[in-house]
Chain A
Amino acid sequence: AQSVSQHNHHVILSEAASLELGCNYSYGGTVNLFWYVQYPGQHLQLLLKYFSGDPLVKGIKGFEAEFIKSKFSFNLRKPSVQWSDTAEYFCAVKGAGKSTFGDGTTLTVKP
């Protein structure tokens, strides 16, 4: 069985602060990893994904994530957050056709 653990339920930052959201997964086979974001009142949408190659992947809006296979981690980062990054962030793993999402991290950015 696969599982995803997101370390923080709620993160509060000031604008221009750096962000790192932790994500660890458990799965024995080849996985594909995703970060999705849900802005207030909007649909879930893809931020970035990893399936092979360079373990450092870049997504939209300046976000990036690093896949560290030895640590089963896929942490999301952004060097300088903006008020518009206020949203809920979900890490997801897809293996053997099934998708498993973490519980989500609510990010609040104070102007």
Chain B
Amino acid sequence: KAGVTQTPRYLIKTRGQQVTLSCSPISGHRSVSWYQQTPGQGLQFLFEYFSETQRNKGNFPGRFSGRQFSNSRSEMNVSTLELGDSALYLCASSLNDRTYNEQFFGPGTRLTVL
């Protein structure tokens, strides 16, 4: 089975711009979660989608949004980029929304905001 894929792998944007990141989960997985990883804050939960519905949300401003499509692929959007949004954005998929299911992580998208 192919793993979780994320595109693009690297992205450079300037302040004020918006960005869309894409995640394709493992085939058959219906839950997709997004995380922001930074050296100072570690891994922080952004949101989780299951069956095209946002099920859980972390403590991030409304500039961060996402969606999930019927094929379980997910996109994350950040509007009005700030310097502090520079981070590695990780996507993780799991079979369903059962809490005991482990997550399978993608390689991440490295976003640099100048």
A residues in contact with B92, CB < 8 Å: 44
Q: How far is the CB of A94 from chain B (nearest CB, A)?
A: 5
Chain B minimum-CB-distance residue to A50: B100
Interface string of B20-43 (1 = CB under 8 A from A): 000000000000010100000011
Is A75 among interface residues, defined by CB-CB distance under 8 A? no
Central interface residue in B48, B58, B99, B104, by most chain A CB within 10 Å: B99
| Contact (Cβ within 8 A) A97 B97 | yes
Per-residue contact bits, chain A 56-83, to B (CB 8 Å; 1 contact, 0 not): 0000000000000000000000000000
B residues near A49, Cβ cutoff 8 Å? 100, 102
* Docked CA distance A34–B99 (Å): 11
> Count the A-B residue pairs with Cβ separation under 8 angstroms: how many?
53
CA distance A97 to B47 in the complex (A): 10
Rounded to whole Å, the gap between the CB of A44 and the closest CB of chain B is 4
Please determine whether A32 and B105 come into contact, CB atoms closer than 8 angstroms.
no
A46 at the interface (CB under 8 A from B): yes
Residues in A with CB closer than 8 Å to B44 are 101
Tell me whether B90 and A44 are in contact (CB under 8 A): yes
Residue count of chain B within 8 Å CB distance of chain A: 24
Most buried by A among B43, B44, B45, B90: B43
B contact residues around A90 at 8 Å (CB): 43
B48 contacts across to A, CB distance below 8 A: 97-99
Query: Which one, A44, A94, A95, A96, contacts B105 given CB within 8 A?
Result: A44
Expressed in whole angstroms, the Cα–Cα distance for A30 and B100 within the complex equals 11
| Pick from A32, A51, A99: contact of B45, CB under 8 Å | A99
Closest to A47 in B: B102
CB distance from B106 to the nearest CB of A (A): 7
Q: What is the interface of chain A, defined by CB distance below 8 A to chain B?
A: 30, 32, 34, 36, 43-46, 49, 51-52, 90, 94-104
